[in-house]
Amino acid sequence: MAFMGFRHGHILSVLKLAQQRPDTEVVATCEEHADTRNALIQGGSVTITHQDYRHMLDSVPCDVVAVGDSYGRRGAIILEALRRGIHVIADKPICTSLKELDAIRTLAREKRLCIGCQLDLRDNPKAQTMRQVIQSNRLGEVLAISFTGQHPLNYGTRPAWYFEKGMHGGTLNDIAIHGIDLIPWATGHHVRRIEAARSWNAALPEVPWFHDGSQLMCTLDNGAGVLGDVSYFAPSNFGYKLPQYWRFTVWGKRGVLEFSMTTPEVILYSADNETPETIPLAEGTPGAYFDSFLREMRGETTGLALTTDEVLRSSRTTLLIQDAADNGRTKVDITEPA
């Protein structure tokens, strides 16, 4: 297993998982950006073996490339690996354009390669509890979902590439993919239509092209409505501690379910009970996205926490939402590509 790019810290989680497993070996690591490379070397967190990606692929045989470069570079990096017959796992988003995603999908299918992604909300105990309650029919038919995944922007300390033109790819594509991936997994219903989406510069005049505000409105295939806000509006001094950090509220015909990643409970307000019910949490499955990626590579098809098809579908839906926001499109019906 080789690693390409460490410009987003999320990829270090994949590195840690790979180093902990007896069935994976890290054979090479590449960082082309000099300042990032020097910081990693000085910090001692990663041993960098290469400074050129193609040279690494030419000189070191590997079955998998893990990608954590800046968002705008990921698509090309992934495509280069796929052309060489190498499986890929990446931090989200895997790319920043529909054209890149179509090329990734085509190559992965032609060469029968797997695409993994760090969509780790699925592995969280509270998210798994939400799924169990919905699929047990305690809520009844899902009518509406609201989710917020607001982040602190941390302008001045967040990596500078975020604010370079062409590198970020949009806040919806950056953040909303977690919610867009989680909802079909939990409910069994996919996004059928993008009713509207908005992305705008609300509070960062220093970088007028960066859109820190991002909201969406979608309809699921059962008619349920989805509202989402993944803006960079959280005060930096609170970090990721606000209750609006990955808060999901699900309304069903028989009750309401709610949880947040920063609160300890999943609460059910059932039509059958006059008092709120605290639902016992699932155990959670840390790192299941990585384990499932490796199992899919080996040809397994059952019991996977996340699959290549799901990664590609969630990525495509989120890119279509970003496109709707960027171009003022409304009532965009989503159909699966052939």
Three-state SS for the chain is CEEECCCCCCHHHHHHHHHHCCCCCCCEEECCCHHHHHHHHHHCCCCCCECCHHHHHHHCCCCEEEECCCHHHHHHHHHHHHHCCCEEEECCCCCCCHHHHHHHHHHHHHHCCCEEECCHHHHCHHHHHHHHHHHCCCCCCEEEEEEEECCECCCCCCCHHHHCCCCCCCHHHHHHHHHHHHHHHHHCCCEEEEEEEEEECCCCCCCCCCCCEEEEEEEECCCCEEEEECCCCECHHHCCCCCCEEEEEEEECCEEEEEECCCCCEEEEECCCCCCEEECCCCCCCCHHHHHHHHHHCCCCCCCCCCHHHHHHHHHHHHHHHHHHHHCCCCEECCCCC
Domain C-terminal end among 95, 113, 131: 113
Q: How many domains does the chain have?
A: 2
User: Quick check: is 29 in a domain?
Assistant: yes
Q: Are residues 198 and 51 in the same domain?
A: no
User: Quick check: is 145 in a domain?
Assistant: yes
* Across 256-279, average pLDDT: 97
Q: Are residues 100 and 165 in the same domain?
A: no
- Of the pLDDT bands very low, low, confident and very high (cuts 50, 70, 90), residue 105 is very high
Q: Are residues 84 and 145 in the same domain?
A: no
- Of the pLDDT bands very low, low, confident and very high (cuts 50, 70, 90), residue 285 is very high
Residue 44 pLDDT: 87
Query: How far apart, in whole angstroms, are the C-alpha atoms of residue 179 and residue 158?
Result: 22
Q: Are residues 106 and 231 in the same domain?
A: no
Nearest to 213 by CA among 227, 195, 198, 226: 198
Domain C-terminal end among 113, 132, 167: 113
pTM of the model: 0.97
Q: Are residues 72 and 180 in the same domain?
A: no
User: Quick check: is 318 in a domain?
Assistant: yes
Residue 99 pLDDT: 98
Mean pLDDT, rounded, of the chain: 97
* Across 213-222, average pLDDT: 99
Residue 153 pLDDT: 97
Residue 337 pLDDT: 76
Q: Are residues 73 and 142 in the same domain?
A: no
Domain C-terminal end among 113, 141, 166: 113
Residue 338 pLDDT: 60
Assign residue 25 the CATH number of its domain.
3.40.50.720
Q: Are residues 127 and 231 in the same domain?
A: yes
Residue 173 lies in domain = 121-333
User: Quick check: is 79 in a domain?
Assistant: yes
Q: Are residues 45 and 154 in the same domain?
A: no
Q: Are residues 128 and 108 in the same domain?
A: no
Assign residue 297 the CATH number of its domain.
3.30.360.10
Q: Are residues 145 and 78 in the same domain?
A: no
Q: Are residues 185 and 288 in the same domain?
A: yes
Q: What is the pLDDT of residues 128-152, one digit of tens each?
A: 999 999 999 999 999 999 999 999 9
Contact 172, 305 (CB under 8 A): no
Q: What is the pLDDT of residues 310-338, one digit of tens each?
A: 999 999 999 999 999 999 999 999 998 76
The percent of residues above 70 in pLDDT, for the chain, comes to 100
User: Quick check: is 338 in a domain?
Assistant: no
* Across 163-190, average pLDDT: 98
Q: Are residues 165 and 22 in the same domain?
A: no
